[in-house]
Amino acid sequence: MANPTECDLEAHFREELFKRSEGKKSILLPKEQYNKIIADLTAIDKSGKKTPHEYYLLKKYEVLKCGDVFKLIRRGNANEDPIYFATLEDTFDIIKRAHIATGHGWRDKMVKELTKKYANIIYDAISIYKSLCIECQRKRKRPTTKGTVVRPILTKNFGSRSQVDLVDMQAL
């Protein structure tokens, strides 16, 4: 595969991210869980009595309605910009935008950019994206082989023919 396409990179990124988040309690939310939390939060407003899980959801999340689209945000002050929760499926596009916005910046630069707007982008996801970025692969320094020892050529005819140049260093 000489030049992987955008779809190939995204598929590989998602596969690797799903593999790493599988079996763990991850803060990356799959689309189904994301939509379930939004549905639970909208249903909580209508019900009277609340369960401990509902209190947990109300303490941690808030629903922001943008037109006819519902977004999950971190509960905070009304004066601050909203900090969104990203789904596992949208993580690739979010990290790609931040990566390009930082000029193919390194992990810490991207984390600083992403934490301004998103609450649940993890280091693993950023590291996976960095390892797949073609531009960053070109820029990354390769370790050079310094001090390589040249092995002598062992043949019977090695010293049979040679040329020697004599340079007078005092005349220069």
Q: What is the pLDDT of residues 114-141, one digit of tens each?
A: 999 999 898 888 999 988 888 888 877 6
Domain annotation covers residue 22: yes
Domain annotation covers residue 164: no
Retrieve residue 62's tokens. 């808030």
DSSP 73: E
Query: Quick one: CA torsion of 92, 89, 15, 126, rounded to 10 degrees?
Result: 30
CATH number of the domain that residue 58 is part of: 1.10.340.70
Tell me if residue 165 falls in helix, strand or coil: coil
pLDDT on residue 37: 92
Please state, in angstroms and rounded to a whole number, the distance separating the CA atoms of residues 80 and 65.
Answer: 16
Provide the domain limits for residue 82: 6-139
Please state, in angstroms and rounded to a whole number, the distance separating the CA atoms of residues 155 and 108.
Answer: 55
Domain annotation covers residue 147: no
Q: The whole model's pTM is what?
A: 0.73
Number of domains the chain is built from: 1
Domain annotation covers residue 43: yes
Domain annotation covers residue 65: yes
